[in-house]
Amino acid sequence: MPFDFGPLWLSVQLSAITVGILMFVGTPVAWWLARTRSRLRVVVEAVVALPLVLPPTVLGFYLLLMLGPDGPLGGLLVSVTGRSLTFSFEGLVFASAIYSLPFVVQPVQGAFEAVGRGPLEAAFALRARALDAFFTVAVPMARRGFITGGVLGFAHTLGEFGVVLMVGGNIPGETRVISIAVFEHVETLNYPAAHALSAVLLCFCFVVLVTVYAVNRRFPVHAGG
Amino acid sequence: MPAAEQGGAPRLEADLVLDRKDFRLEASLDVRLSGVTAIFGPSGCGKTTFLRAIAGLEREPRGRIVFDATVWQDDRTFVAARDRRAGLVFQDARLFSHLTVRGNILYGHRRTPKGERMFRPETVVRLMDLDSLLGRRVSSLSGGERQRVSFARAVLANPRLLLMDEPLASLDQDRKEDILPFIERLAGELRIPTLYVSHEIDEVVRLASDLVLMSEGRIVASGPIEEVSNRFDLRSYAGRLDAGSIIRMRVAGHDPETGITRFAFAGGEVIGPRVDMAKGAEVNLRVRSRDVAIALDPPGRTSILNVLPGKVVEIAPNDGPQAHVLLDVGAPLWARIMRRSVDALELVPGRPIYALVKAVAVDRRSLGRPTAMDLSLAERGGGERGR
Residue A69 has a CB neighbour count (10 Å cut-off) of 13
Q: How far apart are alpha carbons A66 and B117 in whole angstroms? A: 58
Q: Where are the alpha helices (DSSP H) in chain B?
A: 47-55, 101-110, 121-127, 143-155, 173-189, 201-207, 225-229, 235-238, 339-344, 372-380
Provide Rg for chain A, Cα atoms.
20
Q: Which of B34, B39, B383 is nearest to B200 (CA)?
A: B39
Q: B156 falls in which pLDDT band (50, 70, 90)?
A: very high
Residue B134 C-alpha from the chain's centroid = 30
Q: For the stretch B66-103, what's the b/e string if a residue is b when 16 or more beta carbons lie within 10 angstroms of its beta carbon?
A: bbbeeebbeeeeebebbebbbbbbbbbbbbbbbbbbbb
> A124 pLDDT band (50/70/90 cuts)?
very high
Interface test with B, best of A37, A124, A127 (most B CBs within 10 A): A127
pLDDT, position B376: 33
Amino acid B233: pLDDT: 64
- How many Cα atoms are found within 13 Å in the side-chain-facing hemisphere of B107? 33
Per-residue pLDDT for B22 more than 80? yes
pLDDT per residue as tens digits for the range B292-308: 899 999 888 888 888 99
ipTM, 2 decimals?
Answer: 0.78
Report the range of poorest mean pLDDT among A166-175, B52-61, B312-321: A166-175
Tens of pLDDT, residues B359-384: 676 654 432 333 333 333 333 333 33
Residue B54: per-residue pLDDT: 92
- Better pLDDT: A119 or A217: A119
- Residue B122 CA to its chain's centroid (Å): 27
Q: Record the pTM.
A: 0.78
Q: How many CB atoms lie within 10 A of CB B153?
A: 30
Minimum Cα–Cα distance from B150: chain A residue: A122
What single string gives the DSSP state of each residue in B257-318? TTTEEEEEETTEEEEEE--S--TT-EEEEEEEGGGEEEESS--SS-S--EEEEEEEEEE---
Q: CA of A121: which chain B residue's CA is closest?
A: B57
Residues of B (38-57) whose Cβ lies below 8 Å from A: 55-57
> For residue A143, which residues of chain B lie inside 8 Å, CB to CB?
98
Largest CA distance in chain B: 70
* Residue A47 to residue A41: CA distance in whole angstroms: 10
Q: Specify the 3-state DSSP secondary structure of A220.
A: coil
Q: Ranked by mean pLDDT, which of A212-216, B58-62, B145-149, B372-376 comes out on top?
A: B145-149
Q: What are phi and psi of B287, to 5 degrees?
A: -125, 120
Q: Residue A10 and residue A38: Cα distance in Å, rounded?
A: 40
- Interchain contact B112–A (C-beta under 8 A): yes
Cβ-Cβ contacts under 8 Å, B105 against chain A: none
pLDDT digits (tens, 9 = 90+) for B220-229: 888 888 778 7
Q: At what angle do helices A6-35 and A178-187 cross, to 10 degrees?
A: 130
Q: Please, which pLDDT band fits residue B102 given cuts at 50, 70 and 90?
A: very high
pLDDT digits over B316-362, tens only? 776 678 888 888 998 888 888 888 898 899 999 999 999 998 867 66
Neighbours of B156 (CB within 10 A): 28
Is the CB of residue A55 less than 8 Å away from at least one CB of chain B?
no
Q: Nearest-CA neighbor of B125 among B112, B115, B135?
A: B135
Up-side HSE of residue B69: CA atoms within 13 Å toward CB?
A: 9
Average pLDDT, chain A: 84
pLDDT higher than threshold 70 for residue B235: no
**A222 to B80: CB separation less than 8 angstroms, yes or no:** no
| CB spacing of A225 vs B95 below 8 angstroms | yes
pLDDT at B279: 85
Residue A116 near chain B (CB below 8 Å): no
Which of these ranges, A150-154, B46-50, B202-206, B243-247, has the smallest mean pLDDT? B243-247
Query: CB within 8 A of B324, min separation 6: which ones?
Result: B232, B289, B315, B316, B318, B334, B335, B336
Q: Please give the pLDDT value at position A137.
A: 94
Task: Please give the pLDDT value at position B374.
Answer: 35
Inter-chain contact A122–B88, Cβ cutoff 8 Å?
yes
| A contact test, residue of B98, B124, B137, B158 with most A CBs within 10 A | B98
Instruction: Write down the pLDDT at residue B377.
Output: 35
Are B107 and A121 an interchain contact pair (Cβ–Cβ within 8 Å)? no
Q: Using CA atoms, how far apart are residues A86 and A84, in angstroms rounded to an integer?
A: 6
Burial (CB count <10 Å: 0-12, 13-18, 19+), residue B380: middle
Question: Residue B18: which residues within 8 A CB-CB, separation 6 or more?
Answer: B24, B25, B26, B46, B49, B53, B58, B60, B61, B62, B217
Question: Is A135 part of the contact surface with chain B (CB cutoff 8 Å)?
Answer: no
Between A2 and A183, residue with greater pLDDT: A183
- The DSSP line for B336-379 is EEEHHHHHHTT--TT-EEEEEE---EE---SSSSPPHHHHHHHH
Q: Answer with the residue of higher pLDDT: A225 or B288.
A: B288
Tell whether B167 is within 8 A of chain A (Cβ): no
- pLDDT at position A60 is 85
Q: Supply the pLDDT for residue B370.
A: 35
C-alpha atoms less than 13 angstroms from C-alpha of A128 in its C-beta half-sphere: 22
Counted across chains A and B, CB pairs separated by less than 8 A come out at 76
Instruction: Give the gap in angstroms from C-alpha A118 to the nearest C-alpha of chain B.
Output: 6
Q: Which of A7-21, B10-24, B172-186 has the lowest mean pLDDT?
A: B172-186
**Looking at residue A138, what is its pLDDT?**
94
pLDDT at B132 over 60: yes
Confidence of residue A75 (pLDDT cuts 50, 70, 90): confident
- Residue B151, pLDDT above cutoff 60: yes
Q: B272 has which bridge partners?
A: B261
**Chain A within 8 Å of B153 (Cβ-Cβ)?**
yes
- pLDDT (tens digit per residue) in A168-217: 776 777 778 888 888 888 888 888 888 888 888 888 888 878 887 787 77
> Is the Cβ pair B94, A225 closer than 8 Å?
yes
Question: Which one has a higher pLDDT value, B188 or A140?
Answer: A140
Name every chain B residue with its beta carbon within 8 A of the beta carbon of A141. Answer: 96-98
Q: Closest residue of A to B87, CA-based?
A: A125
CB contact under 8 A, A132 and B111: yes
- Residue with the bigger pLDDT between A7 and B350: it is B350
Q: Which of A126, A129, A137 is nearest residue B157 as measured by Cβ atoms?
A: A126
Q: Which domains does chain B have, with CATH numbers?
A: 3-229 (3.40.50.300), 246-367 (2.40.50.100)
Compute, in degrees rounded to 10, the torsion defined by CA atoms A151, A153, A159, A163. 180
- B306 CA: distance to closest CA in chain A (Å): 48
Would you call B288 exposed, middle or buried from its count of C-beta atoms within 10 A (0-12, 13-18, 19+)? buried
Question: Would you give the distance in Å from CA B25 to the centre of its chain?
Answer: 23
Strand partners, B20: B23
Cα dihedral sign for B275, B279, B281, B283?
positive
